[in-house]
């Protein structure tokens, strides 16, 4: 594990923080609240760990027997500001999802300046190894398997058969399997077209064909002879 630009070289990463680190995540900077400066804490100083993937804020309580730990990805940080005093600097982190700011008081000016620079680099995705860390911790999303065109596969198999890579029997077997995956084409109900109108009679005078039963010719007006009923 690499620790770059640590302001307090005598301060080690606590085991609880080490267990939180994800694969590919490295601590780049540790900023600790002063013990003696105004606003500092003699027994339980707060800490901010800057990694190449997030900010980890540690707030020890009850003489270090219990600690409150919050972590924030750089994408969740909307703003960082410094309030410089005479002897030390206060650091304020604003999260997009929390109403209250995270405050680290009583930090020496050099550490506060470097912390501000590191966090802004993280917000711009410029920290060393930041992209690698994000890839290692990002959830794995399975890509859907693209469906292959059976017709194109048959053409590919035919080309292999022509080259002698597969036998004709293998080609026919594989082709039958591929074509069996093609859904059947739905049959469209076809409406029958009306056939030619049957003629029902011929005019004895002009010879015009009559398309409908009638007593008179539609062309010359001649009367049709009504067939007589056969006597039994």
pLDDT digit string, tens, across residues 188-229: 555 544 444 444 567 777 777 766 666 666 666 666 655 554
Range of the domain at 172: 150-179
Is there a domain that residue 9 lies in? Answer: no
Is there a domain that residue 190 lies in? Answer: no
CA distance 219 to 78: 94
**3-class secondary structure, 168:** helix
Whether residue 127 sits in one domain with residue 23 = yes
pLDDT digit string, tens, across residues 63-122: 555 678 888 889 889 899 998 888 888 889 888 887 788 888 888 888 889 989 999 999
CA distance 187 to 128: 63
pLDDT digit string, tens, across residues 161-197: 888 878 888 888 888 887 775 555 555 555 544 444 4
pTM: 0.50
The sign of the CA dihedral 70, 74, 80, 84 is positive
Is there a domain that residue 192 lies in? Answer: no
Is residue 24 within 8 A of residue 129, CB to CB? The reply is yes
pLDDT digit string, tens, across residues 66-80: 678 888 889 889 899
| DSSP one-letter string for 110-140 | HHHHHHHHHHHHHHTT-STTHHHHHHHHSPP
Residue 191 is encoded by which pair of tokens?
């409406």
Which CATH number goes with the domain that contains 20?
A: 2.30.29.30
Residue 49: CB atoms within 10 A of its CB come to 23
Is there a domain that residue 191 lies in? Answer: no
pLDDT digit string, tens, across residues 31-64: 888 877 777 787 778 888 999 989 898 887 655 5
Q: What is the largest CA-CA distance in the chain?
A: 138
Whether residue 71 sits in one domain with residue 30 = yes
Whether residue 163 sits in one domain with residue 103 = no
């Amino acid at each position: 594990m690499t620790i770059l630009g640590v302001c307090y070289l005598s301060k080690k990463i606590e085991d609880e923080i080490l267990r939180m680190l994800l694969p590919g995540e490295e601590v780049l900077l540790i900023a600790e609240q002063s013990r003696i400066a105004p606003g500092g804490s003699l027994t339980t100083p707060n800490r901010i760990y800057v990694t190449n993937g997030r900010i980890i804020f540690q707030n020890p309580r009850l003489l270090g027997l219990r600690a409150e730990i919050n972590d924030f990805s750089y994408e969740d940080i909307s703003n960082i500001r410094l309030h410089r005093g005479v002897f030390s600097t206060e650091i304020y982190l604003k999260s997009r999802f929390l109403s209250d700011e995270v405050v680290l008081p009583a930090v020496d000016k050099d550490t506060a300046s470097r912390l501000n620079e590191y966090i802004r680099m993280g917000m711009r995705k410029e920290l060393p190894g930041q992209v690698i860390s994000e890839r290692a911790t990002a959830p794995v999303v399975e890509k859907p398997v693209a469906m292959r065109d059976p017709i194109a596969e048959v053409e590919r198999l035919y080309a292999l058969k022509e080259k002698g890579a597969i036998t004709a029997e293998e080609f026919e077997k594989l082709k039958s399997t591929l074509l069996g995956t093609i859904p059947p084409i739905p049959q469209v109900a076809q409406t029958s077209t009306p056939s030619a109108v049957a003629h029902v009679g011929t005019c004895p005078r002009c010879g015009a064909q009559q398309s409908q039963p009638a007593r008179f010719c539609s062309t010359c007006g001649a009367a049709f002879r009504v067939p007589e009923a056969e006597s039994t």
